[in-house]
Amino acid sequence: MGELVVLTTDACLFALIAAGLAFFFVARRIEHLRAPWREVWRRPAAVGGATVLAAFMLVAVADSVRFRAPGGGAAPDGGVDAEVLSALDLWLTPLRTRVETSYSAPLATHAYSRESVSDETGGMRRVHPRLRHGGAHLADPARDRAADVARRALAGVAGGLLCGLLASVLVVVLVSRRRSSTFGRAVGALVHGHATGAWRALLVVVTVLAVVVGVCAALAPHYHVLGTDKVGNDVLYQALKSIRTGVLIGSLTTLISLPFALVLGIAAGYFRGVVDDVVQYLYTTLSSIPGVLLIAASALMLDVYMAKHAIDFEALAARADLRLLALCAILGITSWTSLCRLLRAEALKLREIEFVVAAQALGVRHRGILRRHLLPNVMHIVTITTVIDFSGLVLAEAALTYIDIGVDPSMESWGNMINGARLELAREPPVWWSLAAAMGFMFALVLAANLFADAVRDAFDPRLRGGDGLPGTPAE
């Protein structure tokens, strides 16, 4: 392996995961935080969603561990150059390097468009040329392709099912061990869904994921599973690379806005008076600006700024990275107001409650009261908002990228994939695979996040109504 390279957003993602883990271990010890999570864990839909989310997260992390490729050498100016590859890139080397010339349909052996070739007699014919890599091992594609694809897909399904089965056996053994019941009884409880926690949902989702991954892994070395795009890049590879962008925007945005909302919201509710007036004025003003317009204005300014400081942003990766970070910051600034409002209202309520009044009477300093009594008691609102906002932000990325105020055009993202492919539906026959892949991946991530968020909201605050915290898509 080469030298490790860490971009700013990578560091943020790792910090985010560290924060999540820290929160997890703190929550394990505190009963009133642990109880709601146990409630979530009993819901099959939530566990299924969480499993899919975890899978996406894994891909995002694998795509954030970067190395400078051993053969590539450092760029002369010391900046980040094109030779930097992530762990995901290395694993997907066959997908990354086997580039065709242009469009090809999923699992195709021939290109989408015709080319002129001269045949033996010297005349010119217009034919669909064979792909360089897709199905190149077949002698006669017309005859062998279907059988070959079916054989490989079956092998993939079998492999996936085997993995699912192994996972199930492992879980059953663990559960029966812990509850000191017999193996057979544990299987029965699992199959009938009587086990504490939604183990069944978890295993079903894991098996389905394993089958999908298995089929892709079996087919990908010899075909383009989701076709290729305009310049011949594998669509599956792009869709997988886009996961990191989507996950980062969904989570980093909330992380950036959290400190503002927490400090200002709690301070306004607790101290009242002038502080309250100033904070209220601040968030009323910010929230009265339509979200998209503020984002657009900020993105425009970022463009001008980058044009002026072009020297600093010569490395493409660093530029795209900064742009992603800026987008998260801008989205964070436009979205912290609603959380701040909720926190202020909660702090207003809490400051009148006996334990806070008692602490004040006993002479505890403000800082102590805020840290010991207020902060832990608003964490449920923070949790709910974080998970609920996630899906809206992932969807917003695609819409914003369409208006040119989203992520950098050179960065893999679902928005860029949709943007590049939307006009190709008009061709005959339509080029649908890029769009379908981006939409499919996005749908899977957002659906998983929505299912998880629903359960989290119900578990942490049954009274919080659906309308109070619906994910807002600022661009629609």
Partner 1 sequence: MTAYLLRRLLYALPILLGVNIITFVLFFVVNTPDDMARMQLGDRRVTQEAIDKWKHERGYDRPLFWNGAAGGLASVTDTLFYGSTVQLFSFDFGTSDGGRDIGADLAQRMGPSLAIAVPVLVIGLVAAVAWALVIAWLRGSRIDTWSAVICVGMMSISGLFYIIGGQYLVAKTWRLVPISGYDYGLAGLKFLVLPVLVGVLISLGANVRWYRTIFLEEMGRDYVRMARAKGLSDARVMLAHVLRNALIPILTGVVVLLPTLFLGALITEAFFAIPGLGSYTIDAIQAQDFAIVRTMVFLGSLLYILGLLLTDLSYVIADPRVRLG
Q: Which of 178, 288, 311, 429 binds partner 1 (CB under 8 A)?
A: 288
Single out the residue of 23, 316, 399, 409 in contact with partner 1 (rule: CB under 8 A): 399
Q: Is 229 in the site for partner 1 (CB under 8 A)?
A: no
Cβ distance 224 to 107 under 8 Å? yes
Q: Does 264 bind partner 1 (CB under 8 A)?
A: no
Q: Is 286 in the site for partner 1 (CB under 8 A)?
A: yes
Q: Are 435 and 236 in contact (CB under 8 A)?
A: no
Look-up of token digits 């995002």:
60
- Single out the residue of 307, 311, 361, 362 in contact with partner 1 (rule: CB under 8 A): 307
Q: What DSSP element (H or E) covers 237?
A: helix 235-271
Do residues 249 and 331 touch, judged by C-beta distance below 8 A? yes
**75 lies in the binding site for partner 1 (CB under 8 A):** no
Pick from 129, 157, 403, 461: which binds partner 1 (CB under 8 A)?
403
Angstrom distance (rounded) from CA 255 to CA 259: 8
Is 329 an interacting residue with respect to partner 1 (CB under 8 A)? no
Q: How many CB atoms lie within 10 A of CB 328?
A: 25
Residues 331-370 that bind partner 1 (CB under 8 A): none
Q: Is the peptide bond before 430 cis (omega within 30 degrees of 0)?
A: no
| Burial class of residue 329 in the structure, from the number of CB atoms within 10 Å of its CB (0-12 exposed, 13-18 middle, 19+ buried) | middle
Instruction: Rule CB under 8 A: say whether 402 interacts with partner 1.
Output: yes
Asked if residues 344 and 381 have their Cβ atoms less than 8 Å apart, the reply is no
Among 15, 127, 289, 358, binds partner 1 (CB under 8 A): 289
Tell me: does residue 231 bind partner 1 (CB under 8 A): no
278 binds partner 1 (CB under 8 A): no
Closer residue to partner 1, CB minimum distance, 144 or 276: 276
Q: What amino acid is encoded at 468 in this protein? A: D
* Piece of the chain touching partner 1 by CB under 8 A; list 17-25, 147-155, 247-255, 294-302: 294-302
Q: Is 439 in the site for partner 1 (CB under 8 A)?
A: yes
Q: Which is nearer to partner 1, 290 or 368 (CB)?
A: 290
Q: Are 225 and 219 in contact (CB under 8 A)?
A: yes
Nearest to 439 by CA among 239, 234, 152, 143: 239
Could you say whether residue 245 binds partner 1 (CB under 8 A)?
no
Answer for which of 64, 233, 245, 298 binds partner 1 (CB under 8 A) is 298
- Binding of partner 1 at residue 170 (CB under 8 A)? no
The residue among 49 and 232 lying less far from partner 1, judged by its C-beta, is 49
- CA dist., res. 141 & res. 147, Å (int): 10
| 285 forms part of the interface with partner 1 (CB under 8 A) | yes
Q: Is the dihedral of CA 15, 17, 216, 419 positive or negative?
A: negative
Is 311 an interacting residue with respect to partner 1 (CB under 8 A)? Answer: no
Contacting range for partner 1; rule: CB under 8 A; set: 15-23, 57-65, 235-243, 287-295:
287-295
For residue 301, state whether it binds partner 1 (rule: CB under 8 A): yes
Residue-wise over 248-258: b if at least 16 C-beta within 10 A, else e? bbbbbbbbbbb
Half-sphere exposure of 347 (CA within 13 A, CB side): 25
- Measured distance CA(259)–CA(250) in Å, rounded: 16
Using CB under 8 A, list all residues that contact partner 1. Answer: 281, 284-290, 292-294, 296-301, 303-305, 307-308, 391, 395, 398-399, 402-405, 418, 422, 425-426, 430, 435, 439, 442-443, 446-447, 450-451, 454, 465-467, 470-471, 473, 475-476
